[in-house]
Structure 1
Amino acid sequence: MDFKELTEQEKFLKKLYQGQYREILSVPMQYATYQKLMKEHPQLQIEEDLYTKYSKDHHGITVVDVEKTTENAEINMVRHSRYSYPILHNHSFVEIAYVYSGKCTHYVENQAFEMKEGDLCILAPESMHTITALDDESIVLNILMSKKQLDESFLAMVKEKHLLADFFENILYGKSVSPYIIFPTGQDEWIKLVYEHMFQEITEKRYAYRQSLELYVRQLFIHIIRNYEMLAQVSKPLDRKPDENVVAVLGYISVNYNKVTLKNVAEFFNYSESYMSRMLKKYTGKTFGVLVNSLQMKCAAEMLSTTDKSLSEISQEVGCFDYSHFSKKFKKEYDMTPDMYRRNHRLI
């Protein structure tokens, strides 16, 4: 594929990196620092300064909506320039960085972590970040997409898994935990091939290539959710290193919500109950009991509006064997009785 070849700009920057400017190209810098550097050393300037070209007021900090860079399309794809100036910036759209080969270092909101081949990182809007890829073999392909497209092609697919949908949405839009999600896909040749096809579409720009790009992105998300959802890594709130278990824990609770206890979740993941309780509180802002109760009531509400099951059957199915207790919990959650909710939200 053409994206494996160094461009003339990359060749120029590689010479700088191999010479006396290695540190400049290795350490994240503010845009003001970059401007000063270019003013003092005009020989270091590059032909295409995208940060200045597409940023608000041309100040290089907040990059405009993805539509402004793509003739009003809501999805775009670019290859990250190897040896590029590591300028800290943010943007109002979602960025999905995929390491096609090699490795890179991703700096996000005062965090730094290495991404290896196969890692796919969904980065929240408005997050200050930059990427360094400092060898010829390191190829990073970035999908840029609007929030609307992410909602429709990713979050909508996990909405049935209520806890995970809420958690992912909170990470990407609330950013109370961390501004990114990493899916380690390793040597997945299907994903590599999809990215090759997407790059070909964006390069050749044949008829309906934008629509084709959207379809590829949807297929990519389906594949990720089917095969890697429970492997998702997010940053821990305290030590700020990628964590591999919190998504799996929430997935386990989502599947077993009608019979789960804090004790059996802790035992399943080989944690103490106190540690499990603290972890859930740190990541979600809710206690284990509140999480499970909310999930039970959401599932009950869904059955009330979409099935003919009796109130007693629904109560037992969500794990509440005392209907009177179920009715009180439901009313507290939705400010109406289950029967009233069914009358107001009936879909069948």
Structure 2
Amino acid sequence: MRLKSYEELFDVINTRTDIEEHILQTLDNFQKNNKLPLAIPNNKVEGKDRKIIMENDKNGIVTSYPNNEVRINKVAIRRKLKYIPIFEHKHEYIEIVYVLQGSFIQEIKGRQIQMNKGDLCILDKNVVHSSLPLGESDLVVNIILTPEFFDGIFMYLLSDDNNISNFIINSLYSKSKSQNFLKHHVKEGTMIQKILENLLLEYYSPELKSSTAINGYFLILFTELSREISDRSGEHINVEQHKVKEKILKYIREQYKDTTLNEMANYFNFHPSYLSSLIKKEFGKNLKDILLEVRMTEASKLLKNTDMTVENIVHEVGYTNYSHFYKVFKKTYGMTPNQYKTNVIKKEV
């Protein structure tokens, strides 16, 4: 049956886990013997309900990855562990932290932030963060969203020019080091609070849980959040989005000879359809036209500044079909490559 109220939800998700029981036992032994064990067993730390894999990256920073179950489902919601501090780490997914009850302190980029009931924080893929222990009465959920989660219907959301979509764009841009986060207070009785409530009730009703309903709640949630997030917080995100545009253009200029939309999407960790829309939006033309312009510009430079034959230039700028190159060049410059080279030389003389 479907959970009907927050009270039922709290009863379901606020039950102590095996990990928490072990932590409390450890703390109790410490109080009695004034001595902590050297380590908590791995099987206790991981637990059956954990949705992430913890590893050290090449720089020694603890990085969490979604497990296979989450990769398949693309979304997971879990209650935040109580009684112990969570040390500095980062993750390979977008995380939403939402305080249902009580409060706690998390540190993001060296800054301590008080999180109270109703506070919501969206963390991107790169931000290093930690948190102080939650107490008995604190109740916080972490929502994990993989990059693939934003495929499909979420392309409609991300095609909008708003603070939330720009935040997600920047976060999913895998080479970005901006380490952004957004904090927002959800007021009691608002549309966003009701959406979050229904989302959690749907997710924690396993017998009737609908992925379609969950996707719908998220779509409405992000739409409503985009309307409430202040313009001031969006300014920083738009600056970061401009950096993404610059790096896309830099990639095109460096890889124009043989790149494709799918290769670019893979490099930037974007869905191909979304990357295509982003390029059209930011540059006013599609990738095919941009590549054509870059190739023609490079061909004209080579004709003007080198002694390379036209045949070699054709290969140098990424073409394999001579006749197609000649056709495109003549359409662009109103003359053949040989005529262009002759005219340029005459003008310089």
Report the TM-score, using the length of structure 1 for normalisation: 0.51
- 1:225 maps to 226
- 2:138 maps to 138
> Contact between 2:202 and 2:209, CA under 8 Å: does it hold in 1?
no
- 1:5 maps to 14
> Contact between 1:89 and 1:129, CA under 8 Å: does it hold in 2?
yes
The reply on whether 1:47 has 2:38 as its aligned counterpart is no
Cα distance between partner residues in 2 of 1:4 and 1:224: 25
Secondary structure of the corresponding residue to residue 44 of structure 2: coil
Cα separation, partners in 2 of 1:167 and 1:46, compared to 1, 3 Å: closer
Cα separation, partners in 2 of 1:143 and 1:14, compared to 1, 3 Å: same
81-90 vs 12-21, which moves further: 12-21
Secondary structure of the corresponding residue to residue 88 of structure 2: coil
Cα separation, partners in 2 of 1:15 and 1:69, compared to 1, 3 Å: same
Code of the aligned partner of 1:63: S
Superposed counterparts of 1:322-341, under 5 Å:
none
- 1:187 maps to 188
Secondary structure of the corresponding residue to residue 137 of structure 2: coil
State the identity %: 17
- 2:324 maps to none
Code of the aligned partner of 2:144: L
Superposed counterparts of 1:119-134, under 5 Å:
119-134=119-134
Extract unaligned runs of 5+ from structure 2: 1-8, 245-279, 286-331, 333-349
Cα shift at 1:63: 2.5
Cα deviation per residue 1:65-97 (whole Å; 9 max; x = unaligned)? 35x133711111111112234133332211111
Secondary structure of the corresponding residue to residue 199 of structure 1: helix
- 1:63 maps to 64
Cα shift at 1:282: 9.2
Cα separation, partners in 2 of 1:124 and 1:206, compared to 1, 3 Å: same
Cα distance between partner residues in 2 of 1:164 and 1:222: 8
Cα shift at 1:13: 3.1
Secondary structure of the corresponding residue to residue 69 of structure 1: helix
Cα distance between partner residues in 2 of 1:148 and 1:154: 10
RMSD: 4.4
Cα distance between partner residues in 2 of 1:282 and 1:91: 19
> Contact between 1:158 and 1:165, CA under 8 Å: does it hold in 2?
yes
> Contact between 1:117 and 1:187, CA under 8 Å: does it hold in 2?
no
Cα separation, partners in 2 of 1:19 and 1:152, compared to 1, 3 Å: farther
Code of the aligned partner of 1:213: I
Code of the aligned partner of 2:220: Q
Code of the aligned partner of 1:65: P
Code of the aligned partner of 2:113: F
Cα shift at 1:115: 1.6
The reply on whether 1:100 has 2:100 as its aligned counterpart is yes
Cα shift at 1:216: 2.0
Superposed counterparts of 1:261-276, under 5 Å:
none
Report the TM-score, using the length of structure 2 for normalisation: 0.51
Secondary structure of the corresponding residue to residue 72 of structure 2: coil
Secondary structure of the corresponding residue to residue 54 of structure 1: strand
Cα separation, partners in 2 of 1:176 and 1:13, compared to 1, 3 Å: same
Cα deviation per residue 1:128-152 (whole Å; 9 max; x = unaligned)? 3333342223211111111132466
Cα shift at 1:7: 0.5
The reply on whether 1:210 has 2:197 as its aligned counterpart is no
Cα separation, partners in 2 of 1:84 and 1:92, compared to 1, 3 Å: same
- 1:114 maps to 114
Code of the aligned partner of 2:130: T
Cα shift at 1:11: 4.9
> Contact between 1:3 and 1:79, CA under 8 Å: does it hold in 2?
no
Cα deviation per residue 1:89-128 (whole Å; 9 max; x = unaligned)? 3322111111112212223343332222222211111433
Cα distance between partner residues in 1 of 2:200 and 2:283: 44
Tell me which of the two structures has the higher relative contact order, counting C-alpha pairs closer than 8 angstroms and 6 or more residues apart: 2
Cα separation, partners in 2 of 1:192 and 1:136, compared to 1, 3 Å: farther
- 1:170 maps to 170
Cα distance between partner residues in 1 of 2:236 and 2:213: 33
Cα distance between partner residues in 2 of 1:206 and 1:52: 20
> Contact between 2:162 and 2:226, CA under 8 Å: does it hold in 1?
no
Cα separation, partners in 2 of 1:145 and 1:139, compared to 1, 3 Å: same
Cα distance between partner residues in 2 of 1:215 and 1:300: 31
- 2:258 maps to none
Cα distance between partner residues in 2 of 1:110 and 1:250: 19
Cα deviation per residue 1:234-272 (whole Å; 9 max; x = unaligned)? xxxxxxxxxxx342x589xxxxxxxxxxxxxxxxxxxxx
Tell me which structure has the larger Cα radius of gyration: 2
Cα separation, partners in 2 of 1:53 and 1:214, compared to 1, 3 Å: closer
Cα distance between partner residues in 1 of 2:124 and 2:284: 30
> Contact between 1:153 and 1:217, CA under 8 Å: does it hold in 2?
no
Cα deviation per residue 1:149-179 (whole Å; 9 max; x = unaligned)? 2466767525332787546533563655442
Superposed counterparts of 1:253-332, under 5 Å:
301=284
